[in-house]
Structure 1
Amino acid sequence: MSLGQRLALLAIRLQEPQRVASFQRLCGVEVPLGSPAAGEDAETEVRGAPGDPRRRARQPGSEDSPSPVKPDCCGAPNGVRNGLAAEPGPTGPRRAGSLRRNSLTGEEGEQFKVSNLPLYYLFCFGTELGNELFYILFFPFWIWNLDPFVGRRLVIIWVLVMYLGQCTKDIIRWPRPASPPVIKLEVFYNSEYSMPSTHAMSGTAIPIAMILLTYGRWQYPLIYGLILIPCWSSLVCLSRVYMGMHSILDVIAGFLYTILIFIIFYPLVDLIDNFNQTYKYAPLIIIGLHLILGIFSFTLDTWSTSRGDTAEILGSGAGIACGSHTAYNLGLSLDPSLHTLPLAIPPLTVTLFGKAILRVVLGMTLVLFVRDIMKKITIPLACKLFSIPCHDIRQARQHMEVELPYRYITYGMVGFSITFLIPYIFSFIGIS
């Protein structure tokens, strides 16, 4: 057998949903006894994986012949038990998981049972490191409290990695791991395709970028960074398998894809940031480029959360870049000059801590206010402009004519607020 054939066989094995289900059971996740889903999982185990000698032969049209995976009503390219929750069974000493609901599609998660609560909470935390709540706290915290220079470049890398990852998903179009045998502990991103894992890409890109951007600029032992990178990346990657959202191959591909993107594009990050800040017509080019990228990436055969996420990523990147351009030209940029490097980490005092907390509380309040106001303005306005019924907001948001301007403008204003409006307010009230 040639090397290519061996690699292809390995890839097929790493993509099997049975391996995801086995990892979930190893970590203490199972379907409650007595539920219909439990019977399906047991039957799937008897059948085995493709190529398994224990697998029963099936005739086309027979009762146990598998039906092809079809998209659900919202375009989900996955076999998720019809989006319905299994009936809860006896839990014994274990803890039954609560149902999760996708606010955009109405899809409900499955009932599950966990026997290892520390692992459950650890992997829930790991998967949140790739969700909107984390991003909307993490990037502003860097820009307001730690180092705007590093924060801006982190955003550039994040936008690039996530955009390429989302587009690659929609080109390859591999479905999520089949359920059963996999237990879906999360449903929000279930309508998206699976390969590569953008959670794994983000979870790899952010810690690597943090170390590359800060080491030599700040004084700290390199060993801290070398410990942080594998811990952060492996936690996020394993959490996606634990949640039943990705195969092992998906997360490995996401990790390797991120390394390739870094090799090609990381040398351009300084050039991009300097262009965003100093070039006279940078805002026009930034807005136009991000809009074009968003329009060309919206070629999905069915609706999924991927389209909105892509617009959200591009809008945030454009807003942060335009805000940094405005702040730089108005003299609000506080980046230290090069002759002061490397920077010493200041001692943590009550005053420093108090100002940091005040900036976070006030800043996040303003960010959420801007986001909610822009949502209430852009969605009805887009519906009116394109004659789309607005009585059902969830359905209206699934039209590209509404989703693109709503996400792009809303998160563009959020990004602009993070790098210009809110730092300006901080400077005005003396907590900059």
Structure 2
Amino acid sequence: MTDLPGIMISAPSSGTGKTTVMLGLLRALADDGMHVQAFKSGPDYIDPAFHHAASGRASFNLDSWAMGPALLAGISAQAQGADICIAEGSMGLYDGVATRGQTGFGSSAETAQRMGWPVVLVVDVSGQAQSAAATALGFQAYNPDVPFAGVILNRCASPRHERLARVGMDAAGLKVLGVLPRRGDLALPERHLGLIQAVEHPDLEAAIAGYATFLRDHVDIAAIKAAARGHRPETTQGALPRPPAQRIALARDAAFSFTYPHVLAGWRQAGAEILPFSPLADEAPDPAADLVWLPGGYPELHGGTLAAATQFLSGLRQHAETRPVHGECGGYMALGDTLIDKDGVAHQMAGLLGLVTSYEKRKFHLGYRRAVLDAPLPGHAPGTALRGHEFHYSTILDQPDAPLAQVADADGNPVPETGSVRGHVTGTFFHMITPEETA
């Protein structure tokens, strides 16, 4: 195995400041002239865009539940030419699914262990001092096989607070790599699904530059660089997903932007033409496209605009008469008959599927998905097993079309959101990560 030096930025839980540290560190290292490869552990399609903005280089997901050895190797190969890899964990360090599947549990610790990247644990010390060391020590000791670099203490209230917290870390034998004072202006804007998208941030460049300055002032960046180590996955047969068509019209705007970077990279590397268009700008998909793909996003925030986008809807319907159209989550809803927003206003969508969805009464849907296709999906035959992830708050009021797949969660429990198929049109609530690898 060849070296692939990196670190994993993680934390005991969500909301502790991982993203602030991640973006500031990426920009600081890039400003120092380093080629930095960012990764996101887990099925997140928002953070990689922020990583890209901070580092100037595309960021990729690494997911030990959904991805087999070949795909992990193919994604790791995207770090070619990088001096260092910086990965951002999801949720808490050891949070994953309950049942080990064909691959793993999907935790950030598992990613760190497989890649050999030491963990930098961001610990929120607000409301405690020496006690924070017991938490950090527990995370280090919970799995001794997970490499551990040290801790960054976040939201420290005063010099006295810092001294007390450091006493605890010293007693536990934990290296303190930085101490971040409490600053309320360092939080990224959020909405009902979490962080806003990078393209929606009112002044993302200034925010990231501010994070970098903050990190330089309070974190030992040289020590973090020195702690980096790791290796590539053992397999040498790396492979990214194959494109489902040669010419793919891809919706890309604030309503449709949730695509996994490794999927698009695989399509491009295989020679597919990606033809972007904006439904919000009332652009029709390219008439020469072999396939129209509507990713997830926030169509519920733009229901009126989409309903009035006559050129987009007309072009979409015309394409669907003879060629495939697929939608994921938000894209699936846009292909349906009606989308009801949080205020109870019903917006007429494309009507290519009979799906009726509502945000008026929110219901949380979150988790990994394994789908076995009952009908063809562009690029995949019936019987193919796909792995993906679902994250939305919409409720299905009507789903009259034939089911696309038999869908289960990570523990094998059936999921009622089976997707839909009608003619050349398919849709799913889960975002596809990859077909399952076969031995």
Shared fold per TM-score greater than 0.5: no
Normalised by the length of structure 1, the TM-score is: 0.24
Q: TM-score under structure 2 normalisation? A: 0.24
Which of the two has greater helix per residue?
1
Which protein, 1 or 2, shows the higher relative CO under an 8 Å CA cutoff with sep ≥ 6? 1
